[in-house]
């Protein structure tokens, strides 16, 4: 039976905390964009320096990838962990 396209489950929405001038953050984001070709997920990119609460919570942890409050990985993209995570979401 075919599924109605309008009834599809929306993609997972991930949060990536970064900062300007961070080469690790730029590499992390680029790898995530590449993975979006394989898996349906949205990315909300947040600059930790734009919000005092984010800076207090995540300053030394960027780049940091979260799904809500659940940490998926930090500093470097763990492709296998993310694939497993997206497969179970």
CA–CA gap between residue 53 and residue 87 (Å, rounded): 31
CA-to-CA distance for 12 and 16, rounded, in angstroms?
Answer: 13
Domains in the chain: ranges and CATH: 11-77 (3.40.30.10)
- Residue that has been written with the tokens 């990536």 in this structure: 16
Q: Specify the DSSP element, H or E, that contains 41.
A: strand 41-47
**Over its length of 89 residues, how does the chain's per-residue pLDDT go in tens digits?**
444 444 456 679 999 999 999 999 999 999 999 999 988 899 999 999 999 999 999 999 999 999 999 999 999 999 999 999 988 76
């Amino acid at each position: 039976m075919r599924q109605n396209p309008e009834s599809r489950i929306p993609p997972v929405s991930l949060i990536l905390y970064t900062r300007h001038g961070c080469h690790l953050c730029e590499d992390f984001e680029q790898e995530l964009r590449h993975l979006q070709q394989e898996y349906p997920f949205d990315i909300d990119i947040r600059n930790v320096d734009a919000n005092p609460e984010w800076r207090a919570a995540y300053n030394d942890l960027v780049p940091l990838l979260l799904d809500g409050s659940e940490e998926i990985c930090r500093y470097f993209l763990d492709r296998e962990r993310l694939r497993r995570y997206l497969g179970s979401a």
